[in-house]
Amino acid sequence: MSMLRIEDLCVRYGAIEALKGISLHVAQGEIVTLIGGNGAGKSTLMRAIAGLVKPASGTIAFEGRPIAGIRPHHCVRLGIGHSPEGRLVFGDQSVRDNLMLGAYARDDTDAIAADIDKYFAVFPRLTERQDQQAGTLSGGEQQMLAIARALMSRPKLLLLDEPSLGLAPLIVREVFAVIRRLREQGVTILLVEQMANLALAVADRAYVIETGRITLEGTGAELLRDERVRSAYLGA
Amino acid sequence: MTAILQALASGLALGAIYGLIALGFNITYATTKTFNFGQGAFLVPGSLVGVSLLLLAAGKPHWGNLAPSEMTLLSYGLATLASVAIVGAIGIVLYYCAIKPFVGAGGLNWVLSTIGFGIILQNAALAVWGPASIAVPSPLGNEVWRIAGAGIRPQEVLIAAVAISVMVGLDIVIRKTRFGKALRAVAFNPQAAAIVGINVEKIVIIAFVISSSLAGLAGMLIAPITTASVFIGLGVALKAFSAAIVGGLTNPRGCMLGGFLLGLIEALVGLWRAEMREITIFLLIIIVLVLRPGGLLGARSVEKI
Ligand SMILES: Nc1ncnc2c1ncn2[C@@H]1O[C@H](COP(=O)(O)OP(=O)(O)O)[C@@H](O)[C@H]1O
Ligand SMILES: [Mg+2]
């Protein structure tokens, strides 16, 4: 059974049809990536899964349960973690408090403290800055914090929206190293990326999305070799 | 000198009232970019409900004057708690009627809807209590206390003590507790708050309950000074609104600071020439806003409304 199964999903913003019938699925333990140009509808799809936008039609099933249209704080409790585009860390609160807030839906205090230590070990730079306001962190550090904050809810499915956005190449490589490490730990990931070559290399499967529709799908390796993908997204 | 001491005490008490109400403006503005323009009307049930409870407990009808012997510090405290709870509950109704339909939609419909809600509330109070004002004694007695030669009204001391405790308490709650951190997360970015599992609407409703309760508390605290009537709230709320703008609507400490500043200036200028009070205050407000558009402690410039 798929962990996430989306059928014929349509989302509109007023008159704009951002998603025009998207179908896709993500199996337990997979990394699935979604590539596509600006405005293709990638973030809208992530936001619909996280409950931030209500679909006009279509279904979203998470572990077999329909979740389209339910509110975001319920999605978190079902096991969906979201590291949004633009990171959106709580800039006026400390790094540690951002992580605490990431665990807002949990009430196992001891395990929360243990998880904070765990992610401080994964992201040593956050440890040094734990009492600093998140807004004073560098872009790369904020991205690490956004990912760690999403993981603090102990999600079954992690939505990563453009984790490399605006980061220096060296930092991008660090982010992808973290993604590989998460995969080894069995976290299921839906990854949206502009850096298509890196994303396809790390992904089990991939979808190409153009103006609200899926136009191609295959394994990461297949799409890396695909002529259309190479010319449109890999600059080859 | 004793006159100045007296004015300082009055200004502190008045400023504490402004600060309480201004803090209420901050809490809802931070979370929703809206606040209750009709907040003045919330002082009305704040005082009248509490006073009526005391009257009924003394075996009198719900309106009429309250004698000092008919109240103790304890009964006044309990009546205040009941008032605060009732006005807090009215805050929930305010949210569903006047805020929720308009919030996030842009535009200024919420300004009119909150003013309208306040007018309805005030007129409902008029129907229940009538236009006459009710004299309310202070639970600490109406005899002035002689401190360093100055005559200080005990109710002013009570107001300052209660209001400052509540403000310090709320400041700690906002900065240190799980609820406070969630409130600030919603204020920072509601969508980011939602994706970590915070029920944003619940936090917003609590913000309106707190804001309304603070106005209710202010009404009950100020009643022994101004008397309790349907007409007490408007002027006080306008000053509190000014205090919030001067101190910085986006900063809770700024709002409290603005309250004390306005209260003290009002009392000290009043000592010199009563008719210069409002002129000085509003001139100062304009000067502050020209120099610091976001208010004294406001980070950004406040949205034009
Ligand atoms: N809040 C919004 N209001 C109106 N239109 C939006 C909004 N968010 C996105 N859109 C539009 O929806 C389409 C898809 O946007 P988005 O999902 O952000 O694309 P991507 O993440 O692939 O760049 C675009 O045409 C964009 O302009
Ligand atoms: Mg996007």
pLDDT attached to residue B99:
97
Interface of B with A in 186-215 (CB under 8 A): 188-189, 191-200
Nearest residue, CB atoms, B181 vs list A97, A105, A152: A97
Q: Does B238 touch chain A (CB under 8 A)?
A: no
Give the number of whichever ligand sits closest to the CA of residue A38.
1
Contact A104 B196 (CB under 8 A): yes
What span, in angstroms and rounded, lies between the C-alpha atoms of A142 and A90?
Answer: 10
Residue A134 CB less than 6 A away from ligand 1: no
pLDDT number for residue A236: 63
Biggest distance spanned by C-alpha atoms of chain B: 60
Count how many domains chain A has.
Answer: 1
Q: Across residues A212-230, what is the average pLDDT? A: 94
For residues A183-189, give the mean pLDDT.
92
- Mutation to probe ligand 1, out of A12, A44, A210 (largest number of atoms < 8 A from CB): A44
- Pairing, β A65-66 against β A80-83: unpaired
Atom of ligand 1 nearest to the CA of A212: 14
Q: Ligand 2 being an ion, which residues bring their Cβ within 5 A of it?
A: A 42-43, 85
Relative to the alpha carbon of A39, which ligand is closest?
1
Give the count of Cβ contacts less than 8 A between chain A and B.
63
Centroid of ligand 2 to alpha carbon of A192 (angstroms): 8
- Between chains, do A52 and B192 touch, taking CB under 8 Å as contact? no
The reported pLDDT for the residue numbered A150 is 97
CB count within 10 Å of CB A201 equals: 14
Give me the domain span that covers residue A31.
2-233
Would the CB atoms of A102 and B192 count as touching at under 8 Å? no
- Least CB–CB distance from B195: residue in A84, A91, A97: A84
Minimum Cα–Cα distance from A154: chain B residue: B196
Interface mutation vs chain B, best among A49, A70, A71, A73, most B CBs within 10 Å:
A73
The closest-lying atom of ligand 1 relative to the alpha carbon of residue A85 is: 21
For chain A, the average pLDDT equals 95
Per-residue model confidence (pLDDT) at position B150 = 87
Q: What is the pLDDT of residue B300?
A: 56
Encoded tokens for A3: 């962990």
Distance of alpha carbon B47 from alpha carbon B49, whole angstroms: 6
- Quote the minimal CA–CA distance from A88 to chain B in Å: 6
* Cβ–Cβ < 8 Å for B225, B218: no
CA distances from A188 to A2, A80, A180, A230, B63 (A): 11, 10, 11, 26, 66
Nearest CA-CA partner of B18 in B50, B47, B48, B40 = B40
Q: How many whole angstroms separate alpha carbon B78 and alpha carbon B139? A: 12
- Average confidence (pLDDT) over A30-50: 97
Across A52-68, average pLDDT: 97
Q: Which ligand is nearest to the CA of A163?
A: 2
The pLDDT of residue A211 is above 90:
yes
Beta carbons of B196 and A100 less than 8 Å apart? no
Ligand nearest to the CA of A213: 1
Nearest-by-Cβ selection for A73 from B178, B192, B199: B199
What is the rounded CA–CA span in Å between residue B185 and residue B197?
11
Asked whether the beta carbons of residue B192 and residue A91 sit closer than 8 angstroms, the reply is: no
Neighbours of B36 (CB within 10 A): 31
> CA B194, B200, B203 angle in degrees (round to 5)?
140
Q: Does B61 touch chain A (CB under 8 A)?
A: no
Q: What is the pLDDT of residue B305?
A: 42
Give the separation between CA B263 and CA B216, rounded to whole angstroms.
19
Residue A43 in contact with ligand 1 by CB distance below 6 A? yes
Distance (angstroms) between ligand 1 centre and the Cα of A44 equals 6
Q: How many CB atoms lie within 10 A of CB B158?
A: 18
Q: How many Å apart are CA B288 and CA B280, to the nearest integer?
A: 12
pLDDT along chain B (305 residues), means of 10: 90 97 97 95 96 94 89 96 98 98 87 97 96 93 88 95 97 96 97 98 98 98 95 93 95 96 95 90 92 86 44
Alpha-helical segments (H) within chain B: 2-32, 39-57, 73-94, 109-129, 154-176, 178-188, 190-195, 200-226, 233-247, 252-272, 277-291
- Predicted complex ipTM exceeds 0.85: yes
Q: Which residue blocks in chain A are alpha helix, DSSP H?
A: 42-50, 72-78, 95-102, 109-122, 124-128, 139-151, 169-184, 196-202, 220-225, 227-233
* Residues in A touching B189 (Cβ below 8 Å): 88, 90
A93 and B194 in contact by Cβ < 8 A?
no
Nearest protein CA to atom 7 of ligand 1, as residue: A13
In CATH, what number is assigned to the domain containing residue A199?
3.40.50.300
Tokens 């509601």 belong to B190
Residue A14 region, left (φ>0) first, then alpha (ψ -120 to 50), else beta?
left
- Ligand 1: residue of A10, A11, A16 to mutate (most ligand atoms within 8 A of CB) is A16
Q: Quick check: B192 and A104 CB within 8 A?
A: no
Contacts of residues A133-137 at CB distance under 8 Å and 24 or more positions apart, as own/partner, are A133/A91, A133/A92, A133/A93, A133/A94, A134/A89, A134/A90, A134/A91, A134/A92, A134/A93, A134/A94, A134/A95, A134/A98, A135/A89, A135/A91, A135/A92, A137/A89, A137/A95
Nearest residue on chain A to B185, judged by CA atoms?
A90
Q: DSSP secondary-structure letter at B70?
A: G
Q: Give every strand in the sheet of A65-66, ordered side by side.
A: A16-27, A2-13, A57-62, A65-66
**pLDDT tens per residue across span A93-133:** 999 999 999 999 999 999 999 999 999 999 999 999 999 99
